[in-house]
Each structure stands twice: as structure tokens, then as C-alpha cells.
Structure 1
Amino acid sequence: MRIIWVTLRTTFSVAIMCCLVYNAAVWAVAQAAAPDKANGSLIENAQGQVVGSRLIGQSFTDPGYFHGRVSSIDYDANGSGSPNYAPSNPDLLLRTQESVSAWQSENPDVPVSELPIDLVTNSGSGLDPQISPASAEAQVPRISAATGIAADKLKQMIEQHTQGRSLGLFGEPAVNVLELNLDVQAAR
């Protein structure tokens, strides 16, 4: 009986330490060190309503807004990932051709030869919220025509939202599509 009592006490103590104390400590450190990231890097609109996260992309189809990368999972964060098609896979070729055709119909003023590759390819997670600055600039003629915002003003917005390489070395410059589109919405 003594061994059972010791085992139950030990199990209960370890459960309290691992399930409550440890998680509370990690939460407290995260809230103190990086509260924005710990709370999901949420983005609010001018009215203070949460409209998204800096970490997860959204689908924009309105011609007056910047469009993000292709997402095979429709930016559903419940199951991130994208198909691992080989370059020779016919499904990848078909999806890419469909993306290029959609680009041509939405952006007739920009030749396909100037279409940045990240606008017709998936990211590894299918959730990327950023596009390259070149991808944003390629969409300027369409957005300018749809909104009446001058092309120079749109390019200035892109420049303001361009994030450089991490630590000046890693990754590529990128533009968060949601943050950029909130500026476009405010300028309309």
C-alpha cells in the first residue's frame, strides 16, 4: 500500500509540474519577451478589429488588392503543407499553366515574361503571407487601374512594406500582402 501511495503522489506531483507549472512558466516568459509573437502576431484594421496574422497568408481575389502566392490548401492553417510534386509531374504543370492563364487574364498589361515565379508556385507550407517585391510591383498596373491609386504611390507602399533579409544575410526581401492591402484599402 505504501508503494501505491508514493507512486500516486509522485505521479500527481510530476503531472502538476509538467502540465501546469512548466506551461505557465513558458507562457509568462513568452509574454514578457515577445508578446506580439506569443499572441499570434495579429494584425488589426483601422477600427481595431483583428483581420489576420503576419504569419499566415490570406486569399485575395479582388483586382484592387495585391494577390499572394498560390496555396493548395487555401491558406487553411489547420493542415499546412503543399504537394511535393516533382518538376516533371503533370499535375504541377497543369496547375502552373492554370495559374499563368489566370495571371494573363487578371494582368493583361504585364507580359508573362515578367511574371515572378513566386506568384505561380506554392510555398512549402502553403501559408506564406509574403511575396517578393518584384511580385508586388508586377501587380501595380492592375491595382492602379482598379483603384485609381497612382502607380508611384503603390510602389512607395511596396517599398515601405518591404522587409529585408533576416540579420542582413538570410532569406530574401519580402512584402507582407495583408499589411500592404490594408494600406491600399486606406488609400482608396
Structure 2
Amino acid sequence: MKNNIIPAIRLTLVCLVFFCGIYTLTVYGISKLAPEDSSFKKSESGFYENVGQSFTSDKYFHSRPSAVGYNAAGSGGSNKGPSNPDYLAEVQARIDTFLVHNPDIKKDEIPSDLVTASGSGIDPHISVQAAKVQVKRIAKVRNISETTIHQIIEQQSEKSLLGLFGTEKINVLKLNLKLDQLTTTLKQ
């Protein structure tokens, strides 16, 4: 019995030291090296930056659709499969609405993230392509050059981690706030 208990106690102590001390400190140290995330910090406008919001005005970049009406308290997807007739009708309605607001764009040029909701329903980001496809509309409405808007998109793009993990994306709220700042600056 002594032959079994002593090694078990030693293993328990080693695991305690490793998982409660060394591992925890290592993960904490790595987290300090990572870029700061603005999760749930209020921006200057008073909005939360990491919760998707609805932008429907033609002067703004439109957000990714939400299956929960952008309600962070009830985040979630629609749970409808890609062959569900209700889901297909909903996506088609989103495509039709997008084409009405962006008549220069063809249906096959619309990025999927502009017509399908994310799994959480409150994703604050869109792809860079989803932003670029909206440039003509915004430039026309705001009377700003497309080049200027492309520069704002480039400045606001969040690159993938180490060029490997994730995709390049843009926070829609931050992008729209930059547009408003630019418009205010141009008017002065």
C-alpha cells in the first residue's frame, strides 16, 4: 500500500505546483503580451464596440445581419439549416435589400457575411471585402472620394494574428465613427 500512496501523493503535489503555479503564470504572461482587446469598453460615442449594432442609413457601412435583433442579452444564431425554406427566404430578402441600396453591385459580388447572420448574432465585425463592396454607396451619399474611404478601411482593418490565425476584419462601429469624424473635419 505504501508503494502506491507515496507516488500518488507526489504526483498530486507535482500537478498542483504545475497547474496552479507554473501553468497559470505562463498563460498570464502570454496574455500580457497579446494586444489589448476593447471588449465591452464604451467608446467615445457611448456604444459598446464589441457588440454588433444595426446601421441602415446609406451613409454608413452596414453591419452583419443579426438573428437576434442585435440583442446582446439573447445572443445566438437562427439554428436554421441551409436548406430551410424560411432561412433561404430570409437570405434572399437580405440580398434584395442590399441590391436596392447598392445598385452598382452584382448579386455574385455580395460577400456572404452581409447576408448571413453570425453564430452569436451580435458580431461587430465584417470582412474587408464586405466593407469595400459598400464604398461606392457611401462615397456618393457623403460626397467623399472612394480613395479616401478605401484609406479609412485600410487604417481600420484588423489583421489576422501573425498572419495565420483568423481573417482580416473591420469593426463596423469604429469604421462608421471614423467616417463621421472625417465628415465633421471636412465641413469645418
- TM bracket, shorter-chain basis: 0.7 to 0.9
Q: TM-score, normalised by structure 2?
A: 0.75
Q: Offset of 1:102 from its aligned partner?
A: 0.1
Alpha-carbon contact 2:77-2:120 (below 8 Å) kept: yes
Q: Offset of 1:166 from its aligned partner?
A: 2.5
Q: Which runs of 5+ in 2 are unaligned?
A: 1-27, 184-188
Work out the CA distance in 1 between the residues paired with 2:37 and 2:115: 29
Work out the CA distance in 2 between the residues paired with 1:141 and 1:62: 14
- The count of corresponding residues between Structure 1 and Structure 2 is 151
> What SS class does the counterpart of residue 53 from structure 1 fall into?
coil
Q: In the superposition, relative to structure 1, how do residues 109 and 38 fare at CA in structure 2: closer, same or farther (>3 Å)?
A: closer
CA shift digits 1:127-178 (9 cap, x unpaired): 0000000000000011011100110000000000100112432111000100
Aligned equivalent of 2:115: 120
Aligned equivalent of 2:9: none
Aligned equivalent of 1:41: 41
Aligned match for 1:148, one of 126, 139, 143: 143
CA shift digits 1:37-85 (9 cap, x unpaired): 587232114xxxx2x2221011001100000101021111011001111
Alpha-carbon contact 1:149-1:187 (below 8 Å) kept: no
Q: In the superposition, relative to structure 1, how do residues 144 and 130 fare at CA in structure 2: closer, same or farther (>3 Å)?
A: same
Q: Offset of 1:87 from its aligned partner?
A: 1.1
2:42 alignment partner AA? L
Alignment pair present for 1:97 and 2:92: yes
In angstroms, what is the RMSD of aligned CA positions?
1.9
Q: In the superposition, relative to structure 1, how do residues 147 and 166 fare at CA in structure 2: closer, same or farther (>3 Å)?
A: same
1:41 alignment partner AA? K
**Hey, which of these two has a bigger chunk of strand by percent?**
1
Q: Which runs of 5+ in 1 are unaligned?
A: 1-28
Q: TM-score, normalised by structure 1?
A: 0.75
